[in-house]
Homo-oligomer: A and B are copies of this chain.
Amino acid sequence: MSEVVSYRPAPSELAYTFGGREAVRRVKPGTIVELYTEDCFGGRVRDVGDLPSVVCEFPYLNPVTGPLHVEGAEPGDTLAVHFVEIQPARDWAVSSTFPHFGALTTTHTTAMLHEPLEELVWRYDVDVAAGTVTYHARRGDLSVALPLDPMHGTAGVAPGAFESRMTIVPDVHGGNMDTPELRAGVTAYFGVNVPGALFAVGDGHCRQGDGEVCGTAVEAAMNTVVILDLIKGAATPTPRFETDDALMSAGSARPLEDAYRMSQHDLVTWSATLTGLDVLDAYQLLSQAGTAPVGNVCDPNYTMLAKVDKKYLGGGATAYEGMHARLRAEARDYLSAR
């Protein structure tokens, strides 16, 4: 079986950018990596009295674990990251409004003359065995058990062009895409921009609504297992995801229609390449068969996915030479051997 590496960062090791950081570990392609990731508040918001604007300090927000240097990764390659497992590390999680953040509030860019919305924290109960996270209203008695559906809001590699970006930003290098589709069982593909790729991950969510409308999800520390592998000589222009059943392309931009355009454009042209379809034929097929899961509508770039069931692509469509199926098998071996 593949080599297994474990890494739990000390608080001082947490990273706040993609790019501009030294690797914390070097791993070979194919390595299984067991990671701990802190929540987006750095673990400082523990109860409803812990206001993020008080207990957190900009820019020490949305820490990621990493970056990991994957040996042999060079610009022009693609990093494959299979998410084997994403497990909440605590029996609670938190969410909040945050001044000038969220889709239904004045922000730094959609700048208005209103006073900020009130800053409030909600604490959720996490029950991994029952598969639930439980919401409690702050100003009433309603409690609601929602399905646990763990995912990572933030994952990606170092950007190109000598850039270093805050972890809160999603872009073609990945970053804070905040899509519920980034759950266990998925293989994510990122274009490599710098030697070693420099993968990092964080911002676990016990679950998230489409768009993360208030600006935060059910935020949690996670114990996460990934397999990192490499496809040499294959470029990936924007993050892509693969499951057993579906292919997805992510677009991150503003306005939101440009996130939609980027994601649809990539899935149309990628599908055409995989199937040999004419581009307009692929455009038509995706127009009827595709879906458009919404990631975030609150971050510095908004994120949307374009998604299609593989079975609608005519069967012959194998992405990245079958990487997903191989990693899926490795994940099963790892989990059954544990």
Contact = CB atoms under 8 A, between A and B. Distances in A.
Interface of A: 16-17, 19-20, 58-59, 95, 97, 103-106, 108-115, 117-118, 120, 122, 133, 135, 137-140, 142, 144, 146, 160-166, 207-218, 251, 253-258, 260-262, 264-266, 268, 275-281, 283-292, 294, 297, 302, 304, 312-314
B17 A312 contact: no
Given A17-B161, A17-B163, A211-B292, A287 B144 contact: no
- Nearest first, the 9 A-B pairs at minimum CB distance are A255-B255, A59-B161, A210-B292, A256-B256, A111-B265, A214-B287, A114-B114, A164-B164, A139-B278
A275 B97 CA distance: 20
A95 B19 contact: no
A285 B144 contact: yes
Contact of A288 (B59, B106, B208, B253): B208
Copies in the complex: 4
A98 B256 CA distance: 23
A23 B137 CA distance: 47
B118 A280 contact: yes
B291 A210 contact: yes
